[in-house]
């Protein structure tokens, strides 16, 4: 087989090699009559593999163990929805009243899952991994947590990803997810070290602030993604996958409710204007 380098990119079109190499993938082998994901035939996967396990296969190239699959499933189902107070859900509902289709409503909503809302899991995994690396380099966990937090705050500011919540003094999702991690760790399915690190960060934050800054859904699912060995950017990608379920449900419900052109607050509430007082346009 000629290499692209040897051909200078100029493989004759008639042998099809240039176009086959253009999008090369190890994810799917798709030819007439054949659909295989990382080698597994689709007809063998259908009925045997759940959605979360399929996501794992697509991203990792292997099937998860039953316990790993269940843990991923728990993280994905736990974050599907947080109601119209969550910007992503409110945006899905507003978009649905604007005469666009479900795909537009979903894309609008997914677009706001950033560092502060929904996407914080990516930074949280990075923080946990940074603390783990400090422990591997010889620090005690307490010292590693302190140093990791200091380094993060120096770089990104005082808000630590995966902790704090606008509504919940204790996010009910976090302890339950951590309980599942503990069970998986006891069974030897995951290391358990990232759960310990996240709890250490939570304790250190409380000590520093003099009040609890509890782990939130992003922080807890980040523990699961780190325990399962997902790279940090995939924590955000997987959260988007999960929240898309709630986004779709709310966009669909709103489209059936039939509201038209709904803004973020009822129309009797006018946003506060704090600009210059009324004035004449100057003569030009
Ligand atoms: C989610 C979040 C925006 C909620 O913020 P909030 O309830 O409006 O919190 P406030 O801005 O009112 O802050 C209240 C106090 O708690 C502290 N605090 C809140 N979340 C904190 C965090 N993640 N790290 C450190 N301190 C935090 C604030 O510093 C503030 O203390 P101060 O009064 O001494 O300045 C905030 O916790 C945050 O940005 N968390 C990190 C991002 C994240 O995990 N997002 C996913 C949310 S599910």
194 or 1, greater pLDDT: 194
Cα–Cα distance measured from residue 50 to residue 196, given in angstroms and rounded to the nearest whole number:
29
CB atoms under 10 Å from CB of 71, counted, come to 24
**Cα of 95 vs its chain's centroid, Å:** 21
Q: Whose CA is nearest to atom 14 of ligand 1?
A: 164
pLDDT bin (cut points 50, 70, 90) of residue 194 is very high
Pocket of ligand 1, beta carbon within 6 A: 116-117, 120, 158-166, 205, 209, 213, 216-218
Residue 2 has pLDDT above 70, yes or no: no
Ligand 1 binding pocket mutation candidate from 159, 198, 243 (most atoms within 8 A of CB): 159
Residue 242 Cα to ligand 1 middle (Å)? 23
pLDDT bin (cut points 50, 70, 90) of residue 252 is very high
Report pLDDT for 12: 54
Residue 165 Cα to ligand 1 middle (Å)? 6
Residue 34 has pLDDT above 70, yes or no: yes
What tokens appear for 153 in the block?
Answer: 């705050």
Residue 26 has pLDDT above 70, yes or no: yes
pLDDT tens per residue, range 55-81: 999 999 999 999 999 999 999 999 999
Q: Rounded to 5 degrees, what angle do the CA atoms 57, 63, 68 make?
A: 105
Report pLDDT for 10: 52
């Amino acid at each position: 087989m000629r290499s692209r380098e040897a051909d200078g990119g100029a493989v004759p079109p008639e042998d099809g090699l240039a176009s086959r190499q253009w999008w090369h993938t190890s994810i799917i082998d798709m030819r007439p009559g054949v659909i295989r994901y990382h080698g597994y035939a689709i007809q063998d996967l259908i009925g045997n593999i759940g959605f979360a396990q399929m996501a794992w296969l697509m991203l990792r190239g292997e099937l998860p163990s039953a316990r790993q699959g269940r843990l991923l499933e728990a993280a994905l189902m736990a974050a599907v929805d947080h109601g119209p107070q969550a910007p992503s859900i409110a945006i899905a509902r507003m978009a649905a009243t604007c005469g666009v289709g479900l795909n537009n409503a979903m894309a609008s909503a997914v677009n706001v899952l950033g560092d502060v809302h929904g996407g914080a899991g990516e930074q949280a995994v990075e923080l946990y991994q940074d603390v783990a690396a400090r422990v591997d380099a010889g620090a005690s966990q307490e010292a590693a947590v302190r140093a990791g937090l200091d380094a993060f705050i120096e770089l990104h500011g005082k808000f630590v990803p995966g902790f704090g919540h606008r509504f919940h003094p204790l996010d009910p999702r976090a302890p339950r997810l951590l309980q599942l991690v503990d069970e998986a760790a006891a069974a030897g399915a995951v290391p358990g070290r990232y759960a310990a690190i996240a709890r250490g960060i939570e304790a250190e934050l409380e000590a520093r602030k003099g009040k609890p800054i509890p782990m939130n859904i992003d922080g807890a699912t980040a523990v699961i993604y780190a325990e399962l060995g997902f790279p940090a950017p995939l924590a955000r990608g997987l959260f988007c996958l999960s929240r898309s379920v709630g986004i779709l449900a709310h966009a669909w419900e709103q489209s059936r409710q039939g509201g038209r052109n709904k803004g973020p607050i009822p129309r009797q509430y006018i946003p506060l204007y704090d600009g210059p007082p009324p004035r004449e346009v100057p003569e030009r």
